[in-house]
Amino acid sequence: MAVRLDLDAVRDAVAATTFEEAEKLVASGRLSEIVAVGGGAAASIDNGAGSRDEVWVGVVAKAFTAECDCCPDGDQDELCAHAVAVIVAALQDDFLWSSAATPPSQETVDPKVQRLADIAATLSVRRLSTMVAEHAVTDRRLETRLLAYAGKLGPLDEVEAAEVRRTIDNLASEATVGDWQVHDVLQAGRWIVDELEVLVQRPVNETALSLVEHAAVVWDELVSNLYDADASYTEEADETGDAVRAVHIRMCHELQLAPDDLVERLRSLIGEADVTACLDEPEDYLHLVGAAGVAALCR
């Protein structure tokens, strides 16, 4: 459930000096774009020491909870100025807070990822930075994620979305022009997934989600051309549909859409498909829409 919060209530809940410092941080432009993460608001702040502090704030058990790099031991009994700055900026943007947010520290981390992160933490900043940069110049997804994490790349805007939409539409159109082959459709699907996997590295917003849903509809139209194809081809087509759906689920989770709204959204998208819809896997959305939502989608 989304909730709206009042700026005056935040001002009354923290020390006057903390609130004043937070307002100065917001006004200084040192705060990155506010993005939705786990039902809360996240941003990075230039800490004035040549690096940025990651900050997350959310509503947990009817009260604000914060996690900030300025307090690495997790002692956030009182909101720091960074956390209050994120709240202030989010409220100015009419941010919708989930009433049951999940802090980043409580998210499940793949053990292999955690092991490598622990190893990376032992490297010098210079060596780690160079290593990341060397890989980022050859990997669009890593480059995009790096820029987003550094606060250099915000959520997708309408102009950028229109450009990606044209790319997706052109890929689909060219795949079935003239004497086309099954391979052409499958290759177009792989390229569409590549575009979406770059897109999902950025802070998520409604514009990005709508673009992914457009891509899903486009792929559904493309895959209808493979209805009579060999089973080996349809298996690869299913993998592309799974990848599109995975991006959609990830974005819906980050945006914390209301279950009823997501169900209606999915119903509309699935209804557009002539043969099959890659988003038509209700069980995959169970954690987002609940059992009642899954039942509604199955009807």
Least confident of 33-37, 64-68, 190-194: 33-37
For the ranges 12-16, 201-205, 244-248, the one whose mean pLDDT is highest? 244-248
What pLDDT does residue 231 have?
A: 61
Which amino acid appears at position 133 of this protein? A
Tens digit of each residue's pLDDT (9 = 90 or more) over 235-284: 888 999 999 999 999 999 888 888 999 999 999 999 998 888 999 999 99
- Answering whether pTM is above 0.85, one says no
pLDDT exceeds cutoff 60 at 155? yes
Closest CA to 38 of 279, 154, 245, 204: 204
Using CA atoms in the order 290, 292, 297, 299, what is the torsion angle rounded to 10 degrees?
Answer: 160
For the ranges 158-162, 182-186, 223-227, 232-236, the one whose mean pLDDT is highest? 158-162
Tokens matching residue 192: 């569409």
Tens digit of each residue's pLDDT (9 = 90 or more) over 135-154: 999 999 999 989 987 778 88
pLDDT exceeds cutoff 60 at 67? yes
pLDDT exceeds cutoff 60 at 75? no
CB 98 within 8 A of CB 59: yes
Q: What mean pLDDT comes out for the span 174-190?
A: 91
pLDDT exceeds cutoff 70 at 69? yes
Tens digit of each residue's pLDDT (9 = 90 or more) over 216-238: 999 999 988 887 666 667 788 89
Phi-psi region of 46 (alpha: psi -120 to 50; beta: other; left: phi over 0): beta
What pLDDT does residue 76 have?
A: 57
| 195 alpha carbon, distance to own chain's centre | 14
Place of tokens 């800490």: 47
As a whole number of angstroms, the distance between CA 40 and CA 103 comes to 8
What pLDDT does residue 148 have?
A: 85
What pLDDT does residue 139 have?
A: 95
pLDDT exceeds cutoff 70 at 115? yes
Adjacent-strand bridge partners of 60: 63
Q: How far is CA 201 from CA 21, 52, 78, 136, 251, in A?
A: 31, 19, 31, 13, 10
What pLDDT does residue 144 have?
A: 93
* CB burial of residue 163 (10 Å; 0-12, 13-18, 19+): exposed
Output the 3-class SS for the chain: CEECCCHHHHHHHCCHHHHHHHHHHHHHCCECCCEEECCEEEEEEECCCCCEEEEEEEEECCEEEEEECCCCCCCCCCCCHHHHHHHHHHHHCCCCEECCCCCHHHCCCCHHHHHHHHHHCCCCHHHHHHHHHHHHCCCHHHHHHHHHHCCCCCCCCHHHHHHHHHHHHHHHHHHCCCCCCHHHHHHHHHHHHHHHHHHCCCCCCHHHHHHHHHHHHHHHHHHHHHCCCCHHHHHHHHHHHHHHHHHHHHHHHHHCCCHHHHHHHHHHHHHCCCCCCCCCCHHHHHHHHHHHHHHHHHC
As a whole number of angstroms, the distance between CA 246 and CA 155 comes to 19
Q: How far is CA 266 from CA 56, 85, 211, in A?
A: 29, 35, 14
